Every structure is written in structure tokens, then in C-alpha cells.
Chains A and B, each alone.
Chain A
Amino acid sequence: MKQMIGGGILFLLLGIPFTIVFLESMMVIHMLVQIPLLILAGWLMGAGVLQKFPRFFANWNGNGVSGILLVSIILMYWMLPRAMDEALLGGWIELFKFISLPVAGLFIRDSWTKLKTNGKSFVFLNFLSMFGLMGWLYMDAPIQLCNNYLELEQKALGWGFLAITLAMILYLLQNVFMDHSGREHEPL
């Protein structure tokens, strides 16, 4: 319940016009702060939603695969430069952002515990190479990808993605080389 309220408050804070303008003023913050926070808000609010409708989620997302697929599609969409650009114009796309990303957060919560080790590893590695590619794309693109952000901001975002990729690689390395014997849970 606490989580649900926390998520709701976070969502409202993110929705204040002032915060929107501020968070979207820079490309890096838009992509790597606002978007993740929206996902987080959804994840937190998800606690309550999952409790309320367990049957629905058991029926439609029994093994977590359909949920994570939906998440991947939503996140892939929001990684496109064009999507960010259109969101800036406000209106429907911005509204869609504020709905789809919390939904993604909700489904991450529901799916991650249901996925088996192999599924989790696969999703993890996919995002790893996707983030690496995004870093590369934004750093290297010789053209301005968005109407609203300058090339320099693109580069900064690229570095941000690269940092995330490196962090994921470090996490992966420590995970597979750390000793898991004698533990109940499966490795990542």
C-alpha cells in the first residue's frame, strides 16, 4: 500500500507542468531521468494493481513472457529519437508517454518474478546490446536526430547510455563469477 501511494505521488509530481518542462529541457534528463522515473512510478503503483487483479495477470501473463514482450515494445518505442521529439509537442503523444511507461513499469514488476532464469538472462542481454547500440547511435550520428535537441545533447545522451551499458556488463560479470553454490535461488 505504501508503495502504491509513493508511486502515485511520484506520478503526480512528474505530471506537474513545471516538472515536465524542466525534465524535458535537456535530452539526457528526458531520456535517462524522466522516462525511468515514469517506469518506476508504474512499478510502485503496480504493487496495488497486482494485488487487486491477480486473476487477470495470472491469465494473461502467466509465465511473464507476454508481459516482458509488451515492456520491450514500449521501451523500444521510447528509445526512438522521433518519439521523444513528438512528445515535446505535447498533446496525445505526451499523454501516451505518461500512460505507456507506467504500464511498462507495472508489467516489469509482474513479469520479472515470473520469468525463469533463461528468460531473464535473455532479456538482460538484449537490453545490454540495445543500450550499447543506443549509446553508439547517439554519439555517432552525424545529423541532428531530433528537431528539439542539439547534436551536443545527443552526444551527452550517448555517453549516458554507454555508462549504463558498462554498468550492466560489470553487474553481469560479478553475477556469473560470484559463487552461487549452496543457494536456493537460481543465478540471473
Chain B
Amino acid sequence: MGANTVLKTRNNQVVLQLIISGVVIVAMIVFGVIMLLAQGGVIELSAAAFYQMLTIHGTGMIGAAALAGSAVMWYFLDHYVNLSKKIFNTNLICFLIGVVMVIIGVFSFEYASGWTFLYPLPALSAGAWGTVGALLYLGGMLLIGVGFLLLFIDTGRAIIQKYGSLGKGLGWDVIAGKKSELDAPPAAVVASTMVTIVNISALTAGATVLVMNIINVVNPAITFDPLLAKNLTYAFGHIFANSTIYMAVVAVYEILSRATNRPWKSNKPFLIAWTSSTILTMIVYPHHLLMDSVMPKWILVMGQVLSYANGLPVLIITAYGALMIVYKSGIKWEMPSALMFLSMFGWTSGAIPAIVDATIVVNHVMHNTKWVPGHFHLYMGLGVVAMVFGFMYYLAKNDSSIQTNGMDRFAFVVYLLSMLGVSGSFLVSGAISTPRRFATHIPEWMGPAQFGAYSGILVALALSIFIIHFVRYLVVRRKALPTTGRAQQGMI
């Protein structure tokens, strides 16, 4: 198992992707704060500017989470299977070019459909933006998607090469009793297999709708069935956004098992949980369509019932595993392990409001209120983001001798409380029926928005302190490690 492998990495690109993601996250928070200040009536912001910021915030956050998550996953997976560095590199290049296109489309050409680019909005903006903005945005997203598609094709190829098939990567032969639990694929491989499967599906669906939108933007006379478009769009959006946590969670397994010097066991319950979540993640997206009365009833009922269970198998097995692995382990709490533990808390507490909202009766009230951002800011802001920064602390600790100090611990507490503040303010807004994605609020809705804005500023500060620690590591690293290469990476 991974626990006794020594990981000394000099992978420059992993580090590069992390620092880019970290900085992007903080930058996007600034837009988040501005949006909340505007909603809270503190500052004036034109509706157009608000929606541009909403678009860039959503796109940027999901993109940064995916970029960082894939770096985490790649870093650990690369120790078990033979991945292609060239493809990893190509993905980053596609990502950066795509991001530039998206930014130009949004800010220079005022494209503002939200990150979900729901058909037929890209082409029907009522004059808010033109063809060029839409094409830049959609084209940029397509390019980012192409990069990630290549990345997951490569992880799939490597897993099949080593383990025989994607089913075996998920440990199906162990589940079936044909192989002993001792020979089960490591947790990192199981998680990566799941992500490979769901994201290849998501990205092919995403490419189809993106090109469809592009055709429609170029020639609005050619129209498509909006309901099918919505299905494909949310299949893509739901799966891709969710996958960020399944990529980043690899860090939880690897880091906690090293911190406690115990292996993270891929036993049968663990494997069954991951297989269940693979299937559930792909079929629960209809919970985004609960208001579409034209959808067949049974699909919506399925969407609701299964949403209760969506992330739960993996969440429960991971949270339980995390508790068990530290229990009586004599673990010394440091930033990496503390952030990993915190992420379990954030993920779990983020799942609860989601489950509440996935109930059709509740959804009729809560749908499109700020309750929804409330739940995903919890599990992304306190789940994925905690995993990513925890991994950054882990790298710094593992590869260098720089120490964390009181500032880092202080930032940890501030981050925890203020991120709870941001998410909590969204949930409160939702509970008092504030609609989401409204540029302006009536006075009754302003209080929570203001509170969220001030909490958001603190989140940005705390994360900046995390980043400073990572930059200190980068500086040391530059001096200490002049050369790179596969052989020197401590590959096993």
C-alpha cells in the first residue's frame, strides 16, 4: 500500500497548477465579495457587470478546482501507473489558452450567460452581448474540455494497462471475491478510475452541447430541442463540478495514511462505495430539472431518490475511514492533516443541505434560491478547497524543511470560521427565499449578503496566508532543486 512508499516529487507542473489554482481562487473570491456587496446594497454595480462577474466567478472556481484537483490526482496516480507527462502538459496549455479566451469573451465582449451556458441563452442575449463574445466563451470552454478529455483518456489508458480494465481499476474482481482484498488497487487508483469514467462521459456530453451552442450562435435559424440541451448541459455540469472533489479526495487517503503511518485499506465496502458513487454521480443530474414539468415523471423521481444517495457512499466510507485511521494513531496534527480532516467536515456538512434540497417538495420552494449556492459553497469552499490547500502544505512539508508558524494556524481558524460564514449566509438567504442569481436584492434580503461579503474578505485573507506559505516553499525549492526528471522524482 501507499503508506510505505516514499514520495519525493520534483514535479514542476503539479506545483505550477497548484499555485495557479490558488491564486485564481483568491481572485475569484474578490469577484464573489463584490457581487455580495452589490446584492447587499453596499456598492452600486450595473446588472451587466454583476452577470459578467457571476459568469467569471462560476467558471473560474470550477476551473480552478478542476485544475488543482487534477494535479492532486495526477501526482498520486503517477506513483502507481505510467502516466504521460506530455498529455499532462497539453492539458495545462489548453486550459490556459481557454481561460484567456473565456476572460476576453466575458470582460471585453460582455458575455454573461453564467458558467452553465444554458441553451439558447448564448445566442439569445437580447443584445447584452454579441456573437464574438459567445464564440470566445464557448470556444474557450471547448478547448478546456479538450485538454481535460485528453488527460482522462490518458489516465484511463494507464489504468487499463496496469490493471487490465476499468472494472478492475474499481476493484470489481475483489468485490466479486475473485481476488483478495490485499491485492485490491490502492485507494488513489480506485478514485482515479471513477473520475476517469464519469469525466469522459461528462466531457463528451459537454463537447456535444458546446458545439451545438456554437452552431446555434453562428446560425440562429438552426435550433435544437431545449430540453435535451438542458439534460446534456447539466449532465456535464453536475458531473464535472462534482468530480473535483473526487479528484482532490485522493489527497485525503494518501496524506492521512502517511500522517498516521497506517495504510488506507481498499476493502470491499470501500470498493463498493466507489462503484456506487460512480453510477450515482452520472444519473442524478436530473435534480437540476425538477422544475421542468415536461420531463418524464419517473426520471425526476429517480433524480430525487438517488440524489439522497449521490455522494453518500464515498462520503460516508471516507469520513468513517478518516475517523478510523486517526483513532488512537497518535497522529501529530499539522496543517496538511488538519486541513484534510477539515475537508471531511466541510464535505459532510455541505451534503446535508443538498439532500434536503433534492426533495421535490422542498425543491419547489428552495429551487433557485440561494440555498443552492449555500450547499455547494460549503462542500466546495470547505471541502475541495481545504483538500487542495492541505495538499499544498503537504508538498511543502514533504519536499522542504520550511516550517509552518502561528500565522498558518491562525489562518486555518479564520478560514474555517469565515468560510462557514459565507456558506451560512447563503443558507440563511435561501431560507428567507432570496432567489439566487439576482443582481439586486430587496432590503429584507440584504443583511445576509452583507455578512457574507465581510466573511468573504476574511476567507481571501486566510487563503492568501496559505498561499504565502506555499510561495515560501517555491522559493526554497527553486534553489534546492535545479534539475528535474522522471528518474529523480522518487518514482517507484
> Nearest CB to that of B211 among chain A residues?
A133
Cα–Cα distance between A181 and B228 once the two chains are bound (Å): 38
| Pair B157/A140 contact, Cβ less than 8 Å | no
B221 within 8 A of A: yes
A136 at the interface (CB under 8 A from B): yes
Given contacts A133-B208, A177-B166, A180-B165, contact A118 B223 (CB under 8 A): no
Q: Are B207 and A129 in contact, CB atoms less than 8 angstroms apart? A: yes
- Contact partners of A89 in chain B: CB under 8 A: none
Interface presence of A128 (CB below 8 A): yes
Chain A, interface residues (CB within 8 Å), range: 20 to 34
A137 touches B224 (CB 8 A): yes
Decide if A181 touches B164 in the complex (CB within 8 Å): yes
- A170 at the B interface (CB under 8 A): no
Q: Which residue of A lies closest to B203 (CB)?
A: A125
How many residue pairs bridge A and B at CB < 8 Å?
Answer: 75
- Complex CA distance for A136 and B224, rounded to whole angstroms: 8
Residues in chain A near residue B223, CB distance under 8 A: 140-142
A125 to B201 CA separation, bound complex (whole angstroms): 10
Complex CA gap A140/B223 in Å reads: 7
Q: Which of B223-245 contact A (CB under 8 A)?
A: 223-225, 228
Write the nearest CB–CB distance from A7 to chain B, whole angstroms: 32
Could you mark each residue 140-166 of chain A with 1 if its beta carbon is under 8 Å from any beta carbon of chain B, else 0?
Answer: 111101000000000000000000000
Residues of B within 8 A of A132 (CB): 204, 208
Complex CA distance for A137 and B209, rounded to whole angstroms: 11
Nearest opposing residue in chain B for A182, CB measure: B164
Collect the chain A residues with CB atoms within 8 Å of residue B157's CB: 117-118, 121, 186-187
B208 touches A136 (CB 8 A): yes
Residues 161-196 of B contacting A (Cβ, < 8 Å):
161, 163-168
Please name all residues of chain A whose beta carbon is closer than 8 Å to the beta carbon of B215 when the two chains form the complex.
137
Residues on A with C-beta less than 8 A from B221 are 143
Residue-wise, chain A 49-60 has the 8 Å CB interface mask toward B (1 for contact) of 000000000000
Q: A178: CB under 8 A from chain B?
A: yes
Which residues of the partner chain B approach A16 to less than 8 Å between Cβ atoms? none
> Complex Cα distance A178/B172, Å?
12
B204 touching A118 by the CB < 8 A rule? no
Q: Which of A118, A128, A142, A180 contacts B153 (CB 8 A)?
A: A118
Whole-angstrom distance between the alpha carbons of A137 and B221 in the complex?
A: 12
Query: In the bound complex, do residue B161 and residue A176 qualify as a contact, i.e. CB atoms below 8 Å apart?
Result: no
Instruction: Tell me how far the C-beta of B334 lies from the nearest C-beta in chain A, rounded to whole angstroms.
Output: 38
A122 within 8 A of B: yes
- Report A109-134 CB contacts with B as 1/0, cut-off 8 Å: 00000000110011001101110110
A12, B154: Cα distance in complex, Å: 42
CA distance A142 to B216 in the complex (A): 12
- The one of B149, B150, B153, B167 in contact with A177, judged by C-beta atoms closer than 8 angstroms, is B167
Minimum C-beta distance from B26 to chain A (A): 34
- Flag if A129 contacts B204 (CB, 8 Å): yes
Residues of chain A contacted by B228 (CB below 8 angstroms): 136, 140
CB contacts under 8 Å to A, within B425-478, are: none
Question: With A176-B165, A177-B166, A186-B161 in contact, do A143 and B222 touch (Cβ < 8 Å)?
Answer: yes
Q: How far is the CB of B403 from chain A (nearest CB, A)?
A: 42
Residue from the set B154, B166, B215, B225 with the largest chain A CB neighbour count within 10 Å: B166
In the assembled complex, B198 has its CB within 8 A of some CB on chain A: no
- Chain A residues with Cβ under 8 A from B84's Cβ? 118
Q: In whole angstroms, what is the CA distance A177 to B159 when docked?
A: 11
- By a CB distance below 8 angstroms, the chain B residues around A176 are 156, 160, 165-166
Contacts of B87 in A (CB 8 A): 118
**CB-defined interface of A70-111 with B at 8 Å, one 1/0 digit per residue?**
000000000000000000000000000000000000000000
Docked Cα-Cα span, A132 to B166, in Å, equals 24
B161 touches A140 (CB 8 A): no
B53 part of interface (Cβ distance < 8 Å): no
CA–CA, A178 and B168, complex, Å: 9
Give A180 to B167 CA distance when docked, in angstroms: 11
Nearest residue, chain B, Cβ from A143: B221
User: A182 contacts which chain B residues (CB < 8 A)?
Assistant: 164
User: Complex: how many Å from CA A29 to CA B289?
Assistant: 37
C-alpha gap A133/B204 in the complex (Å): 10
- Given A133-B211, A137-B215, A186-B161, A122 and B204 contact (CB-CB distance below 8 Å): no
Residues in B with CB closer than 8 Å to A121 are: 153, 156-157
Q: Write out the residue numbers on chain A whose beta carbons fall within 8 Å of the beta carbon of B225.
A: 136, 140
Contact between chains at A180 and B164 (CB < 8 Å): yes
- Is B224 a contact partner of A125 (Cβ separation < 8 A)? no
Q: Which A residues lie within 8 Å of B150 (CB)?
A: 118, 122
Name the distance in Å between B192's Cβ and chain A's nearest Cβ. Answer: 14
**Is B204 a contact of A128 with CB atoms below 8 Å?**
yes
* Interface residues as binary, B123-164 with A (CB distance below 8 Å gives 1, 0 otherwise): 000000000000000000000000001100110110011011
Query: Which residue of the partner chain A has the closest CB to B200?
Result: A125
Of all chain A residues, the one with the shortest Cβ separation from B90 is: A118
Interchain CA distance A19-B77 in the complex, whole Å = 55
Distance in angstroms between the alpha carbons of A163 and B208 in the assembled complex: 16
Residue in B153, B221, B228 with the greatest tally of chain A CB atoms within 10 Å: B153
Q: Could you give, for residues 166-188 of chain A, a 1 whenever the CB lies within 8 Å of some chain B CB and a 0 otherwise?
A: 00000000001111111000110
A135 closest partner in B (C-beta): B208
Decide if B305 is an interface residue (CB 8 Å cutoff): no
Q: Are A179 and B165 in contact (CB under 8 A)?
A: yes
In the complex where A118-B154, A136-B208, A187-B161 touch, is A179 in contact with B168 (Cβ < 8 A)? yes
Contact A122 to B161, CB < 8 A, known contacts A133-B208, A137-B222: no
For residue A65, give the distance in angstroms from its CB to the closest CB of chain B.
13
Q: Chain B residues with Cβ under 8 A from A125's Cβ?
A: 149, 153, 200, 204
Q: 14 A-B Cβ contacts within 8 A?
A: A118-B154, A125-B149, A128-B204, A129-B207, A129-B208, A130-B211, A136-B224, A137-B215, A140-B223, A143-B222, A176-B166, A180-B164, A180-B165, A182-B164
* The 3 A-B residue pairs with the shortest CB-CB distance in the complex, in nearest-first order: A181-B164, A129-B208, A121-B153
Binding site for A on B (CB under 8 A): 84, 87, 149-150, 153-154, 156-157, 160-161, 163-168, 200, 204-205, 207-208, 211-212, 215, 221-225, 228
